[in-house]
Amino acid sequence: MTEIRSTAQELARFRLRVVVAMLFVCVCLGLLAARFHYLQVVRHDYYLTRAEDNRIALLPKVPHRGTIVDRNGVVLARNYATYTLEITPSQVKDIQGTLDELATLVAIEPRERRRFMKLLEESRSFESVPVRSRLSDEEVARVVSQRYRLPGVDVKARLLRDYPQGTVGAHVVGYIGRINQRDVERIEEAGETANYRGTQHIGKAGLEQFYESELHGTTGIEQVEVNAGGRAVRALSSIAPTSGNDLELTLDIELQRVAESAFGARRGALVAIEPSTGGVLALVSTPSFDPNLFVDGISTQDWKALNESPDHPLLNRAIYSAYPPGSTFKPFMALAGLETGRRTPGQAIADFGYFTLGNHRFMDDKVGGHGMVDLHKSIVVSCNTYYYQLAHDLGIDNIAKFMAPFGFGARTGIDLPGEANGVLPSPEWKRQRFRRAEQQQWFAGETISVGIGQGYNAFTPLQLANALAALVNDGKLYRPHIVRYVVDSRTGQRRAVEPEPLREIPLKTSNIRAVRDGMVGVNISGTGKRAFQGAEYTSGGKTGTAQVFSLRGQRYVEGRVRERLRDHSWFIAYAPAEAPRIALAVLVENGGFGAQSAAPIARQVMDYYLLHRQAGEPAAEDAVAGELEGGEQAETAPTDAAAAGAAAAEAPAGSLR
């Protein structure tokens, strides 16, 4: 009985417990239902947005950079597709370990590793940093198959910049490099941040830098659905990028190549201009460098080699270095004499070998002088005494006033970055240049030095070439330019860069004729005779020698002076003489007499340009032309003229920095 009752009791108790458990279950499931209601109804909008944010990403589509071709369509800068191996540092815990791991899959040279570490320091951690480019298909496959265990490692298809001409024309074309913090700031200032999203490279030098806005193009946007791994799964919508515009140059890369090889191992610069348009045909600065080194980020070693070389290969001497023009200044002085009425072509002076100012003698190179010298002869034999006298008669203010319109001592406005001003000296300039009162004073002797292109005068090869172009173009001065057409990437339309006349210098045709006759005489019977012997075209020229080092009264004997202190060798020339198609200026650093090293280079360039003949045929070009040149070393003695000489020595050295 008790047994049954207790059993019944237990059953009743059990059923009560079941009811309680059921209530508990209902409460808990109700709690869940409430939670679902909260998430799915009350907070639905919020979570929907979160899900959309999760899934949609805006990816920049980087435009193709415009290409650069020369005047004949030869490619100077282009893009090529390549696979690069990249690491996103923020996703990698152990970078060295990952690199070791990768090294087992693809060859990674120590050099590339060092470059990667350098780039790593410069980059932000969420940007992917290239380890290696130019992966072969097999290497790509190997990395991709192992990618699952290498988080943060990616193989990306990228367009890399390629400069097929290598060192030829490198200073003109320039190069691109990875965007650094300074670039970012500049981009921000220009309000271009959005357009550079996704872009990794930017023009750093030359045309690549100057025409950055043309070459870069417009970045497109792709709206993509991404998965949890951040990989794009499918495209939702996209705005296609617009490729950058292409550049077509006035430059002739073959002419450039001829000019560069004519320099050989010598340092120097050459600028060749088409006088009727201001188009630059060749712009050389030697030694040059390989712009391809910069594309993936230059290695420390390569950078050190370029940057610390005493030859300064990265320096564009043609536009950045200013040198005293030496005797190449004389034709312009002669023109000044004629235009101001201080001289007539027929008027001759007696040259006894020196010019006296006060109690100081300015010496001519030829002991005993050239005898009676008129304007023509003064150019042909490069007579210093004639120009000492002329400078004295004109006075420094008139010289400066006359020379300024030719563009001396002012930026030409060429479409390249980093052009130097140079110096066209005047009392006014000296007052601004120096701080101490005794230095600010202009000495009459300094005017005499300026007359033969020494002293404070310092012009870039570009300035000299452009001034010559204006001289042979009847005073019409153009802004020199390298780009001839900008080719619109969408329409294919060629937007011409019109020759831009800066000014027309009012010059009498007969005066120009007289000076040009003198320059033609130089190449026939004067200091340029040897270099231009047998030329199948007529030409005009003028040699020049710029002092690097003042000898303080001693005679300049080349062999005795250390190479770096030897004079710079100049030559300016144009051809054909009647209707010039090319005007150029050549400078060979420490090349000695102008006729000796600079003039033959000019000859080779002109032969190629006018006759399409490569160098090598006329023999003995480099023969010593000492007696022909007759020397044009102005022997500057102490006192004020010596100060001028010292300044001349400083100018080019300073400009190299």
Please give the backbone phi and psi of residue 426, each rounded to the nearest 5 degrees, phi first. Answer: -160, 165
**Residue 652 DSSP one-character state:** H
Q: How far apart are CA 464 and CA 319, in angstroms?
A: 10
Amino acid letter, residue 494: R
CB atoms within 10 A of CB 13: 10
DSSP 88-100: -GGG-S-HHHHHH
- Please choose, from the candidates 255, 169, 251, the residue with its C-alpha nearest in 3D space to the C-alpha of residue 206: 169
Sign of CA dihedral 129, 130, 131, 136: positive
Q: How far apart are CA 324 and CA 464, in angstroms?
A: 10
CA of 110: how far to CAs of 82, 107, 143, 216, 579, in Å? 21, 10, 19, 32, 58
| Complex with other proteins: residue 55 or 392, whichever CB lies closer | 55
Contact 42, 153 (CB under 8 A): no
Contact 262, 605 (CB under 8 A): yes
Which residues, 6+ apart, have CB-to-CB distance to 619 below 8 Å?
none
Q: How far apart are CA 166 and CA 146, in angstroms?
A: 36
To which H or E segment does residue 363 belong?
A: strand 360-363
**Residue where the block lists tokens 């007529």:** 538
Which residues, 6+ apart, have CB-to-CB distance to 266 below 8 Å?
286, 588, 589, 591, 597
Least distance to other proteins, CB of residue 44, Å: 4
Where on the chain is the footprint of other proteins (CB under 8 A)?
Answer: 3, 6-7, 10-11, 13-15, 17-18, 21-22, 25-26, 28-29, 31-33, 35-37, 39-41, 43-44, 46-48, 50-52, 54-55, 225-229, 233
Q: How far apart are CA 517 and CA 523, in angstroms?
A: 10
Structure token digits, residue 79: 């893009």
Least distance to other proteins, CB of residue 89, Å: 16
**Catalytic positions:** 327
Q: How far apart are CA 406 and CA 365, in angstroms?
A: 28
CA 32 to chain centre: 70
